[in-house]
Amino acid sequence: MRPPVNLHASLPNSPVRRPAAFPQAAACFLATVSLSNLWAQLPEPRLSVVSPQGGAQGTTLEVVVTGTDLDEASLRFSHPGISATPSPKDPKRFSLTISKDTPPGAYDVRVLGKSGITNPRRFEVSGLPEQDAATTATTREQAKPVVLPCVIRGSAQKQQVQWFSFEAKQGIECVFDCHAAVLDSRMEPHLALFDSDGSLLVQARNKSIRWKPAKDGKLWVALRDFINNGGPEHFYRLYAGAPDQLPQTAPETPLVLWPPSASAPRESEPNDPAHPGLISPPVEIHGEFYPEGDADSFQFSAKKGEVWWMEVTSNRMGAPTNPRLVVERIDKAKDGSDKAVDVLVVEDSPWFPGDPDFDGQHFDPIGRFEAKDDGTYKVTLRDLNNKTTPDHHRRYHLSIRKPSPDFALTCAVLPPAPNKPFKTFSGPLVAVRAANLRPGQVFPLRVLAIRRDGFEEAIRLTAKDLPAGVSADPCLVGTRQTEGTLLLRASPEAQPWSGNIQVEGEAVVDGQTITRAARMSSPLWESTITEFVEPPRSRICSEFALAVVSDSAFPNSIKCEPSSLESTVGAKIKVTFQREGHPSDAPITNVKPFGIQDLDKAKGVEISAKDGKAEYELDLAALKLMAGEYTIWFRGEQKVKRDLKGKPSELTLAICSNPLQINVKEAPKK
């Protein structure tokens, strides 16, 4: 009998989880503080782990929540079929009931407590028997026996492998699929299957494994984190069984904002570069980068001046691909042979590469093609990752369409110190916050605009379903701009409330006014003390939750006057600040502008405690603002004294202004 394979051999040392957005984040930088501690703030509830992270239909189980500022907690689920009752002995424990008619799938859960509502975590419902992993099953001899089909729930342990054994049947295929990232886990699962001799049969990283046994007998499954990390935040749910016993759920595709047609025809072989398939745009085609090294080509005719948008959707559908799109014009050489000339080459086209609030990084090419001459053209697709191993997971969708301008919106909470990736080896610093609004507070929401097919027009932002006492100041995402800030304002009389709101954007597209709802996005994990700083991860949430919290009213806000003005390119503008709210002994310091690029180094001013006024000058030439409409706002810092958890404390509050609309026009010609 051969000894089992050493699963810890030849492991990479890099902590990088995803290869795209921040290769520099592999540096061994240790964050010295949590970003949430950079500002001394009022309590900000944050949910880290719900354990276990799921359960079976029609069952009742006990769950435990961990996080910060979770006093007087209750659980809120995005599906009404899941409910929870707090334990009378432990406020962090709940008796959770899943109704038998709750569909299998992943749902958002948040904690609502004294200090407001938290960020969401995923909670998964299955239709299979469930059991907990054995933390002591760290060798093959200690493997925990399981009966398929089932769901095994647990957490990876540092420098440990968790083992399971099961009785396999000849010819009956078995599948093991570890859910981790889809549940917001920090784990990157590595699965391996062994036979009775200790021989490795199959292994996979971040993918399911499948095996059809040649004989009856016991097999072993080994599961670990790929870089041997572990702990409560590295949780997982391992689905095991025959293919027809496991849920056939489609992968989440948050970056597929305009879904491809499901009825589009499949590619027809042969369609290699030497034998391209004939197409007539507009057209949509489903295909595969298979086998290894596969290149698919399609030939079409175009008239001079025709414009087509070409888009490949593959990596955004969860495929491990890096597609490349090349358009060639087919000319005739002097000897009569075909001569191909490149006219368009497109690789990845990310919207917001590496943004902590909305990770728009993807490897799918999107490009505009304009025919400069009448002629025959050929578009060729390759997967730069598909060079050695055939893989049917490498599917793609090709769309060649007339320009179809449109836009989509994502919205995220803007912390006092904005989330941003540092462009040095210090990595990104990220805070996880939910939308908790105090009476008298002005609360900023960051809205990102994804523009399609050359759409450039301004987008006006609004919010609806707001509670009494809460309003939204007008905001504009200007022409060609990719983000804006929507400011929510709570009156001093606003009452405690929690619920879901909706942020919307309105714009004129091809002469028609259209409205698009924003989807809320949230970072998953903070940059914390004594940890490697990892590339930021974020995801789209099921709902946009808001809470009005009455624990401590904000004493002041800032009134900026005028609220709108016109100016010319390169001019200087002046505004005045007036403190609003209660008289205060504390000045509002470091008042600086936000909302457009290149404001990071802008000077700050102080609104004095004596008269509550200040002036500010903004140099449009230094900002290099072109003609157009812009929305900016101002934020300052104010130190206040509050009783925090029964103790007198000095806090630093982020005090915000109303928005300032600036219409910049071209300077008159002399």
Q: Is the pLDDT of residue 12 over 50?
A: no
Sheet strand arrangement including 82-86:
46-51, 60-68, 93-98, 82-86
Q: Are 26 and 427 in contact (CB under 8 A)?
A: no
In this predicted model, what pLDDT tens digit does every residue of 295-324 receive, in sequence order?
Answer: 999 999 999 999 999 999 999 998 889 999
Distances (CA, A) of 225 to 159, 178, 233: 8, 11, 12
In this predicted model, what pLDDT tens digit does every residue of 151-186 receive, in sequence order?
Answer: 999 999 999 999 999 999 999 999 999 999 999 999
Please list the residues that pair with 416 across neighbouring strands: none
Pick the more confident residue, 273 or 251: 273
- Give the residue ranges of DSSP H helices in 62-201: none
Residue 68 amino acid letter: T
What gap in Å lies between CA 104 and CA 550, rounded to an integer? 37
Please give the domain boundaries of the chain with CATH numbers for all domains.
130-245 (2.60.120.380), 277-403 (2.60.120.380), 555-670 (2.60.40.10)
Q: Which two tokens stand for residue 110?
A: 């948040």
In this predicted model, what pLDDT tens digit does every residue of 413-446 receive, in sequence order?
Answer: 998 877 665 444 444 578 899 999 999 999 999 9
Give the sign of the dihedral formed by CA 434, CA 436, CA 440, CA 445.
positive
**DSSP secondary structure code for residue 119 in this structure:** P
Q: Are 373 and 341 in contact (CB under 8 A)?
A: no
Closest by CA to 192, choosing from 11, 318, 321, is 11
Pick the more confident residue, 328 or 582: 328
How many other CB atoms are found less than 10 A from the CB of residue 32?
Answer: 8
Give the sign of the dihedral formed by CA 357, CA 439, CA 36, CA 107.
negative
Of 334-343, 417-426, 612-621, where does the model show the most confidence?
Answer: 612-621
What gap in Å lies between CA 20 and CA 359, rounded to an integer? 10
Where residue 454 falls (left for φ over 0; alpha for ψ -120 to 50; beta otherwise) is: left
What gap in Å lies between CA 564 and CA 569, rounded to an integer? 16
pLDDT computed for residue 352 by the predictor: 77
Q: Which two tokens stand for residue 475?
A: 């905001």
Q: Is the pLDDT of residue 391 over 90?
A: no
Residues near 394 by beta carbon (within 8 Å), at least 6 away in sequence:
288, 289, 290, 314, 319, 320, 321, 383, 385, 386
Provide φ and ψ at 146, rounded to 5°: -130, 155
What integer best gives the mean pLDDT of the chain?
89
Q: Is the pLDDT of residue 1 over 80?
A: no
